[in-house]
Every structure is written in structure tokens, then in C-alpha cells.
């Protein structure tokens, strides 16, 4: 099938990034979230990113117009009926993802491909609520989506070869590089990265070093572009807690227990950049 129209479900950090990348690549995109404020916020974030590019001389006003012209927002899942490909990027809760795909499965024609941008939940389990598990795949982007080149492609138990082929082409059209990983808790990159972020929180909690020095240490000592605590704030502490909880529950290995400081911060609503307070203050 010739993919021209893409539905993106979830207008948060990841969903708006995916919508931007798809619209930039010339696809028609419908961005859906559960209320108009969330949709407007996602579209505003994209506009803001494009304006920043323009101020650096990387885009023209015309170029921005044509990208925005490819984008449409909605709160109705039924508006995704005519999409050739639907990419879900809602919160990292399996019950919510399943509910979205139950609705999508009813709304979209049988030709539509489905992908979940999960950070590490079971693709097979989510695909199982649809009548098209063969047309379902894990498509894991990295934050910030417009910048990070990688997408992990994760086959569910029933994903067929045509879905893998179509999705690989789509990722290339988005200007990204794919790696192929087997279904496993947290796949490959997060399995390595997120326990490191969690460990940085233990180092902070145990009073071994300050947040600033932990981040400076990993930036200057390991050449990471930003330190683990600043990165955690960027990804969102709620997402990281979901991800660590999944890894721990799936493996029951105590080395993956979420840091108590992470849980405490999430309970306090200090989720990082998106709430203005995480390990650092962004107000």
C-alpha cells in the first residue's frame, strides 16, 4: 500500500514529535488527543520547533507553511478512518494503549497498519486486542523525536513480513534509521539506558554527589551529550517510572528496582521539564 496519510494518537512530547517528523517528510498527518487543549498544545509545540529552525536559517516561511498544511488536529478517533498508517504515542500504560487500539481497530479499514510507540511494553499483548495483529508493530522513537535518528522496530508474535517492510520504508522516509530488536522488556536501547538513569538517581539519593556534579561527571567523563538527571527531566519522570516498573515486574530482578527517589518525585508531581520541576527547576 502507498502510505500517504498518517494518524498519530497522543499529542504529548513523543506524539507531537512523530507528527512533526511525518509532516516534514511530506505525509498528511492527523494528530489526535483526548481534548482540544492537548491537541492545541501539541500543534503549538510543532510550530514553535519549526519557528526555531527558521530563526537558525534552516527553514523558510514557505517551508513552514507547507509543513503546517500537512497537519491537522482532532479529538475524534473516527477522523483517523482514512489513515493508511496509525501510530500510537499515548502514555506508557498498557490498559490505555489497549483501549486506544480497540477503538482504532473499529475506526480504521482493514488495510490500515498499526504501530505502538511503546518504550518497552509487550507489542504482542497490545496487538492482541485488534483483529489485525499481523499488521501491527512496535515503532519506538527517541526523545526529542525531531533530533534523534533512531527508531527501534519491534515485531510482535504475529507481525508479518509486509508490515516490517512497509514500516522500514516509512522510517527511511521519515529520515530515521531503524534497528530491529526482538520483543523483550524495554527492548534494547532502554534496557541499557534507563537502568543507568535510575542508577544516577540512587547516586543522588545516597548523597554521593549533587545533581549538578552527577550530570557534569557523565557529560565530561563519559561524553554523554547531557547528564542522566537532565535527560531524565527531559524524558519525563513518570515515563521513566512506568518503564522501570515494567522492567522490574517482567524480570523480577532486584537490580531493576525503581529508585525510591524517582517514585517519590512522581508522587509529588515533579515530573521534569513538562511540569517545570524535576531534578532541576525550569520555571
Residues that bind ligand 3HC in the complex, under the rule CB under 6 A = 49, 52, 56, 119, 142-144, 146-148, 190, 193, 225-226, 231, 235, 239, 243
CB of 206 to ligand 3HC, least distance (A): 24
Scan for cell 508479518, then name that residue: 160
CB of 185 to ligand 3HC, least distance (A): 13
Catalytic residue list contains 190: yes
Angle at 146 between CA 191 and CA 240, to 5 degrees: 30
CB of 159 to ligand 3HC, least distance (A): 20
Angle at 213 between CA 212 and CA 218, to 5 degrees: 105
- Give just the sign of the alpha carbon dihedral 260, 265, 267, 273: negative
Distance (Å, rounded) from C-alpha 172 to C-alpha 192?
Answer: 25
Catalytic residue list contains 140: yes
Task: Indicate the residue among 128 and 144 with the shorter CB distance to ligand 3HC.
Answer: 144
Catalytic residue list contains 210: no
Query: Of 70, 117, 122, 190, which is the active-site residue?
Result: 190
Distance (Å, rounded) from C-alpha 37 to C-alpha 41?
Answer: 6
DSSP conformation letters of 169-211? HHHHHTT-EEEEE-S-TTTTHHHHHHHHHHHHHHHHHTTSS-H
Task: Indicate the residue among 46 and 107 with the shorter CB distance to ligand 3HC.
Answer: 46
Query: Of 84, 140, 198, 232, which is the active-site residue?
Result: 140
Query: Of 16, 119, 122, 232, which is the active-site residue?
Result: 119
Query: Of 88, 152, 198, 232, which is the active-site residue?
Result: 152
Active site residues: 119, 140, 152, 190
Amino acid at each position: 500500500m502507498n502510505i500517504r496519510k498518517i494518524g498519530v494518537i497522543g499529542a504529548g512530547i513523543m506524539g507531537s514529535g512523530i507528527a512533526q517528523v511525518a509532516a516534514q517528510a511530506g505525509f498528511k498527518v492527523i494528530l489526535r488527543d483526548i481534548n482540544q487543549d492537548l491537541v492545541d498544545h501539541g500543534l503549538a509545540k510543532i510550530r514553535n520547533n519549526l519557528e526555531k529552525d527558521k530563526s537558525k536559517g534552516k527553514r523558510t516561511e514557505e517551508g513552514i507553511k507547507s509543513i503546517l498544511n500537512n497537519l491537522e488536529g482532532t479529538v475524534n478517533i473516527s477522523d483517523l478512518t482514512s489513515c493508511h498508517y496509525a501510530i500510537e504515542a499515548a502514555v506508557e500504560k498498557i490498559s490505555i494503549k489497549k483501549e486506544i487500539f480497540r477503538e482504532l481497530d473499529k475506526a480504521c479499514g482493514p488495510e490500515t497498519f498499526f504501530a505502538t510507540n511503546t518504550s518497552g511494553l509487550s507489542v504482542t499483548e497490545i496487538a492482541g486486542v485488534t483483529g489485525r495483529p499481523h499488521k501491527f508493530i512496535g515503532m519506538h522513537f527517541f526523545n526529542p523525536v525531531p533530533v534523534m535518528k533512531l527508531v527501534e522496530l519491534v515485531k510482535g508474535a504475529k507481525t508479518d513480513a509486509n508490515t516490517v517492510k512497509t514500516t522500514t520504508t516509512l522510517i527511511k522516509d521519515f529520515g530515521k534509521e531503524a534497528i530491529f530488536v526482538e520483543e523483550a522488556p524495554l527492548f534494547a536501547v532502554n534496557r541499557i539506558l534507563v537502568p543507568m538513569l535510575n542508577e544516577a538517581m540512587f547516586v543522588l539519593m545516597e548523597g554521593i554527589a549533587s545533581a549538578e556534579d552527577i550530570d557534569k561527571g557523565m557529560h565530561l567523563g563519559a561524553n554523554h551529550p547531557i547528564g542522566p538527571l537532565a535527560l531524565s527531566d527531559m524524558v519525563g519522570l513518570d515515563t521513566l517510572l512506568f518503564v522501570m516498573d515494567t522492567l522490574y515486574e517482567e524480570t523480577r530482578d532486584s537490580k531493576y528496582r525503581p529508585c525510591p527517589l524517582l517514585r517519590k518525585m512522581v508522587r509529588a508531581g515533579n515530573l521534569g521539564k513538562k511540569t517545570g520541576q524535576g531534578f532541576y527547576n525550569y520555571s
